[in-house]
Structure 1
């Protein structure tokens, strides 16, 4: 169902019995997203929103490279100011909003790491199905020194619990899928090598369900979640992305060095 169909960099789409599969592919980079991949994903989502034949949309990573290891750090060298960083987060935020705007259930099928933007995409989906050994996190405090939008933090915290999400972010930890089942963040845990079968079983149930009921329930649960207020943290995004530490973090990451934080 979700086996890789190509090794080329990009977001590849295919439809299988009413299910649109969007596959994130960046071989050798753990499917980290480039600017082009974000644009392709936005286009696929826009087209999917207008379709009436879909039962569900699945987002997954290609091959064994994982779900998505965030944004390709090489792309972040383009960010030279706090405003650049804020514009980048709004750009990614528009893609997340497009996932939430789809009228059908969205499913993240995760094997390997779902990190940074990968975590945000998975948390934005209605349901997460993960293979044993998958990990989730946003270790930005240890890597590039940026910040997450409040909307992403709120979404992750509501799904896995505030205390767990806070600890994960502050300690730059990666949390195994096995530890996220009890909170419901991971809805179904597949044994190693069984992600396709677990996903297929879930999709069979969706295909047998009343389409209008699925769409109504999807919209209702999203409205319930959206009713919770989310604070603005643009000032903090501007501070982090406009800092010398962020530039140092990107430089050190690309050179595979440990960053020397200065707190400014």
Structure 2
């Protein structure tokens, strides 16, 4: 299966011992800490649409090449677009990932921030190495804001208190802290082996149970996390405002922003 595959989004279909299939995706921009471009989001969205109609695949694993899971959006690529429609396009990909009937696993090694954290929180399960770090440090970088559904999903996974700390202090959180609040299934030095063991164990489970449970939890999440009225206007004000302009200036100059 290569739907959505690019040089920066490697997709491999694998077969388990019992003949069932699983798919592994590698975010492949290690020199950029796997920061996402629009083409990568579109490729992942295309893959999700394909998997949604493929009952032969039971598990999807997402991982990053090199020393990061994914370090958010590629800023230059992000700035080249109208940010609000682009945010909506990205959010549609998150929704497609969250609604997959397959069990989705984020295998995290290193930085898992910004858009990378959004991808991880829209997976069912997360497992990470001790050196992994999590957060949305946007209050000290670009001065933008999350869309509400992405923020709500983070709170659902990490809890409201830790989500508030992530956003309101711009501090990155350790794997140990994330595991302590239940956001991670495990913290391990043997990520590849533990993920392989997890996949093998899921392959032996009832597909009916897995798909029904995911459907039920999806209905609950949709009921709890609607997009607030006025969201588009709110985000347009953020991206047209002085803090985002200063954040962009400082980022391009490789300087510390002066938010006034």
Normalising by structure 2, report the TM-score: 0.91
Number of the residue aligned with 2:75: 73
Aligned partners of 1:135 and 1:241: how far apart in 2?
26
Asked if the contact 2:135/2:172 (under 8 Å) is kept, the reply is yes
Contact 1:25–1:61 under 8 Å retained in 2: yes
3-state SS of paired residue (1:136): strand
Residue 156 of structure 1 is matched in structure 2 by 154
Q: Secondary structure of the residue that 2:256 maps to in structure 1?
A: coil
Give, in whole Å, the separation in 2 of the partners of 1:158 and 1:141: 21
**Residues 70 and 115 in structure 1, CA contact (< 8 A), matched pair in contact too:** yes
Counterparts of 1:251 and 1:36, CA distance in 2 = 25
Distance 2:164 2:234 in 1: 16
Q: RMSD of aligned C-alpha atoms?
A: 1.7
The equivalences for 1:37-186 within 5 A come to: 37-62=40-65, 64-79=66-81, 84-186=82-184
Q: Which moved more, 1:195-204 or 1:228-237?
A: 228-237
In the alignment, structure 1 residue 206 sits paired with structure 2 residue 202: yes
The residue number in structure 2 matching 1:14 is: 12
Counterpart in the other structure of 1:3: none
| TM-aligned CA deviation for residue 225 of structure 1 | 2.6
Higher relative CO (Cα under 8 Å, sequence separation at least 6) belongs to 1
Q: Secondary structure of the equivalent of 2:219?
A: helix
The unaligned stretches of length 5 or more in structure 2 are 1-5, 16-20
What SS class does the counterpart of residue 210 from structure 2 fall into? helix
Please state how far the C-alpha of 1:235 moved relative to its aligned partner: 3.1
What is the TM-score when the length of structure 1 is the normalising length? 0.89
Distance 1:34 1:231 in 2: 24
Say how many residue pairs are matched.
249
Structure 1: state its 5+ residue gaps: 1-7
* 2:37 alignment counterpart: 34
